[in-house]
Amino acid sequence: MSVRAAALIALLVVGCTPSVPTSPTPSATPASLARIQVAEAPLPAAAGAFVLFQLPSETPLRAISFGGEVNGRLAGQVGQTGAGAGWSQSPYGIPYLVDSTAYDRDGKALGTIPWAGKQSKTWSSEGRFLCAAVPASATAGAPMRLETASIGQGAKVIASGYTTYSDNAVYRVLACDEGKDRAIVASFGQGVSASRLWVFRLSTGAIVLSVDYAGTGRWVAASADGSMLAESMPPVAPATNWKATIRSVDGGPLLATIDDFVARGFSGDNSFVVGNTPNAVAVIDWKTGQKVWTASGPYGGFLAEPAGRRLAVGVGFVGGSDQRDVYLVAADGTAVLLPARVHVALLY
């Protein structure tokens, strides 16, 4: 059976898979949690993964562990860019990118990457290099490329011509994992719904799966290691809501469906999905449907602890008069809250 046929069969059985009900869990609110106290000392030389953040009206960067146990200042500084973050952090927090230049914890420039500006790029799951889906030239109809690059080195073309560039689409690398030898690229029509998805063998550029979502209005997310997909389908009839389905990229039956939920991403160990219900943001154990944590408000992005279950989750819009709260959510559903109006480079 071809990979296209297998993908089609997997999509068709969505309606045949039993839904997993979600269990209610108390909502978190800023009023119910004390915000963390930021440390003014330099970040201790501790191992682990960190979330980089910036306080309003500050240029220094700060870092905090995913559990909130350790936080401190970094030597680097980043100019304010409105309500959003002006950097892109690697999975472990350091190194981080400001435009196309990478920096270490001491603020020392490590080198540049070959993609500048707003071109979409994604750190590999272990932070050793980056992947990007870029056109051969910035003209409609140009062949799209999947490229990789290490800091300070030029781009290496992994695959080319799998689709053509449209200036009405957004091309995102959803996963880039050297250990699994896998990269996942998806195109989104005007950035709001998935239209195509490709799974590549990272070492050779071979396409091992291609899915056409055209006309379905779906949203699609992938686990960091590229082993799992979360596909969310919009309402198909009045009085219905979104439904998320979880499946393995390698085929087989669907693993779970979650009603009234849009899945935006996975925890680092693939145990949880994070996303939005009609009126809240939630972290859900997709195997059982249990809501591990939820907070009222619009979805505002996330970061996953590499290979772990802890997440940084944003609630609220960025920009204008709206403010975003960022929670550090533990595997047991407890959470700590970062300072108000904090800037964090969350993923969407």
Considering the domain 3-344, what is its CATH architecture? 7 Propeller (2.130)
Q: What is the pLDDT of residue 69?
A: 94
Q: What is the pLDDT of residue 20?
A: 40
Give the pLDDT band (50/70/90) at residue 30: low
Give the pLDDT band (50/70/90) at residue 137: very high
- Residue with more model confidence, 11 or 230: 230
* Strand pairing report for 96-98 and 101-103: antiparallel
Give the pLDDT band (50/70/90) at residue 348: confident
Q: DSSP 3-state assignment of 213?
A: coil
Q: What is the pLDDT of residue 335?
A: 96
Nearest Cα neighbor of 234 from 248, 222, 244 is 244
pLDDT, the chain, mean: 88
Q: Hey, what are 176's tokens?
A: 């880039």
With beta carbons less than 8 A apart as the criterion, state whether 283 and 230 touch: no
pLDDT at 21 over 70: no
Give percent above pLDDT 90 in the chain: 74
Q: Hey, what are 81's tokens?
A: 């860019």
Q: What is the pLDDT of residue 1?
A: 39
- Residue with more model confidence, 249 or 85: 249
Q: What is the pLDDT of residue 247?
A: 97
Residue 34 DSSP label: P
* Strand pairing report for 27-28 and 290-296: parallel
Structural domain boundaries of the chain?
Answer: 3-344
Other CB atoms within 10 Å distance of the CB of residue 89: 25
Nearest Cα neighbor of 96 from 54, 147, 55, 45 is 54
The residues near 33 (Cβ < 8 Å, ≥ 6 apart) are: 327, 335, 336, 337
Half-sphere exposure of 140 (CA within 13 A, CB side): 4
With beta carbons less than 8 A apart as the criterion, state whether 232 and 262 touch: yes
- Whole-number Å distance between alpha carbons of 308 and 328: 13
- In angstroms, how far is CA 114 from the centroid of its own chain? 22
pLDDT at 160 over 90: yes
Task: Identify the weakest region by mean pLDDT among 13-27, 82-96, 154-168.
Answer: 13-27
pLDDT at 197 over 80: yes
pLDDT at 120 over 90: no
Whether the pTM exceeds 0.75: the reply is yes
Q: Which residue has the tokens 């204008």?
A: 320
Residue 223 DSSP label: -
Q: What is the mean pLDDT of residues 173-181?
A: 97
- Whole-number Å distance between alpha carbons of 231 and 251: 14
Q: Which residue has the tokens 């996303």?
A: 275
